[in-house]
Amino acid sequence: MLACQPARSAELETIGLTDTTKVISLDGRARYWIDTAPNAAQLGVQTLEARAGDLPWALREPNRQYAIDDQVLWFQFDARIDQADVPWYVEVAASGLDRVAMYYRDAQGRWVAQEAGDTKAVSDWPLPGRFPTFQMSHQSGQPVHYWLRIQHARVTFSAPIAIHHLSDLATSRDREQFFLGIYFGLAVLVTIVAAVSALAWRDPSFATYAVYVAMLGLGQAAYLGTGAQYLWTNWLEWNRISTFVLPALSSAVGLWFVRGVTEPARHSLTLDRVVLTTIVVQLLVTLADALIPATYTYKTISLLVLLTLILVAIMIALVWLRGSDPDIRLIALGFVPVAVFALFPVARGLALVPTSFLTRYGLPIGAALEMPILLYALIVRSSRRREARVRARALASTDPLTGLLHHRILLVRLESALQRARTQNLPCALLGVRLVNLEAIGAAHGREAAERALVLAASRLRSVISDVDVASRVGDQQFALLLEGPINSAQALSCATHAVARGLRDSQVLPGGETLKFQVAVAMLPAAPTSATETLKWVMAAVNEIPADARKSIRALNFDLP
């Protein structure tokens, strides 16, 4: 509900301030008048006081919005302090106001003036903080007339105005600073973690997310008045435009981030072009608003932010319905809080709703819920993609089914081991292993069971060697284990024995109580064959010559069994 020029006068009762009352709203207790004259800014409080009886005052109502662009909004109320030992304050609960001033006469009849707003550094306010706050008269027992003057362009004024006891004001400010500290601390932490992750994993999604969280935090610092209070206290011109510029920039960066995460071009080039156009237009309009502030540019920015929220919803829905990304639901869940809570400040910017708790703090609440969810989702997605890339690179050197090294890598390692064994007298061993009953398992239980048997065989063979040794698949049912030196025949034979025993263990992976039957040929190196290729052929030929029904599963090639 917008307020235009009042058409009726209003009488007021004096507000009594006692120790039992901690906070009193001026809704219904103050009257207002909007000065629409071309020279409204020139009207002084003394002239207003003289003309007050002839002006059409109206009673202030809850949630009323006042369109005062290029005009001056005056409030007048009377208050009496019963005891003056504790100060009382008038707080206008809105940040980013252009100019707010309060006037009253002291006991000697002299005017006392206090001023706050973006035209003054916060450190020069009567009571520095996020909201304009003014100390009331020290007179006790006598009514005092108070006058509030408010100038605010481009956005309707609807901030709550209340009288606070010092104890209540201090408590509410401490509470606000505590919760805002949590939000901004979380924003800084997530920004750092995302930036470090981007450098460590070379993932552009984390870099974009770091920029988005940082811009969102700066936008909220400007919108909530924290920036003017702590970050750019004396930059008055930047303080004036930051409230409009930084939230708009954070919206454009947010759309850019969502585009990078959802990749809409994969499903709709038209949607991707609309998103890019919206980002460019939003940046241009924001620049124009910073250079030439106007009501229509701010309204345009608010509409573009609303369009941004719609595009975010469309991109998430499109990828959800058509995409194959397994993490998109978690990412979508992360965007929901900000998308929902951002509607409240957007509606406030379009003058659809008055200032309230959700219009002030809704977006920080949504962002605080969003940041850890999205960071976790990006970590999960990045880990999945890195794992896929690692697997793709590993295909050149590993067997895709068992994950064991390819026989080409085995030959390289074997050649190096033979060279060390000859030149440095560091003997090594090569074990050839055959899974004798693989064909029987496949015939009885199918191909899937046979593949499971191969994977299980690879796992159990890896478990009997050390980290420096090599396990490789060299045939359909053949494996090779290179035990790098120094090693003796007893150790090599022990490894072979453990391999056979591990294969015979029961496993829930194989159906029908099947076990793995290994046969092993063991050779100490260096031996007669001089090359790695000839050595591998020699050992594998030996293991393949062992009869499938042989009573002994281990064959020593160049040393005697105990």
- 233-243 residue pLDDT tens: 888 888 888 98
**Encoded amino acid at 492, one letter:** A
Judge if 123 and 218 occupy the same domain: no
For 87-104, give the DSSP string: -EEEEE--SS-SEEEEEE
| Measured CA angle at 79 (ends 76, 80), to 5 deg | 160
Q: How many residues does the chain have?
A: 562
Mean pLDDT (whole number) for 255-266? 89
For residue 481, report the phi and psi dihedrals to the nearest 5 degrees: -120, 120
Judge if 368 and 256 occupy the same domain: yes
Q: What is the pTM of this model?
A: 0.73
pLDDT at 225 over 80: yes
Sheet holding 478-483, edge to edge: 470-473, 478-483, 428-435, 518-525, 554-556
**Helix, strand, or coil (residue 3):** strand
For 136-154, give the DSSP string: PP---SS-EEEEEEEE--S
Q: Is residue 504 part of a domain?
A: yes
Q: Is residue 186 part of a domain?
A: no
Inter-helix orientation angle 447-462/438-445, to 10°: 140
Return the pLDDT at 353.
Answer: 87
For the chain, what is the largest distance between any 2 Cα atoms, rounded to a whole number of angstroms? 122
* Alpha-carbon distances of 50 from 45, 47, 54, 149, 151, rounded to whole Å: 9, 5, 9, 16, 21
Judge if 380 and 414 occupy the same domain: no
Element housing 480 (H / E) = strand 478-483
pLDDT at 186 over 90: yes
Judge if 376 and 411 occupy the same domain: no
Q: Is residue 562 part of a domain?
A: no
CA 376 from centre of chain: 8
Q: Is residue 284 part of a domain?
A: yes
Judge if 20 and 148 occupy the same domain: yes
Judge if 220 and 163 occupy the same domain: no
Return the pLDDT at 5.
Answer: 44
CATH code of the domain in which 445 resides: 3.30.70.270
Judge if 360 and 414 occupy the same domain: no
Count of structural domains, the chain: 3
Residues 161/91, Cβ–Cβ less than 8 Å? yes
Note the pLDDT tens digit of each residue in 63-92: 899 989 889 999 999 999 887 677 899 999
How many angstroms separate the CA atoms of 92 and 117, rounded?
A: 10
Domain hosting residue 77, numbered range: 2-169
How many angstroms separate the CA atoms of 398 and 423, rounded?
A: 29
CATH code of the domain in which 82 resides: 2.60.40.2380
Neighbours of 258 (CB within 10 A): 23
Q: Is residue 147 part of a domain?
A: yes
Q: How many helices (H) and strands (E) does the chain have?
A: 15, 18
**Encoded amino acid at 295, one letter:** T
Q: Is residue 260 part of a domain?
A: yes
Note the pLDDT tens digit of each residue in 338-362: 889 998 988 888 888 888 888 889 9
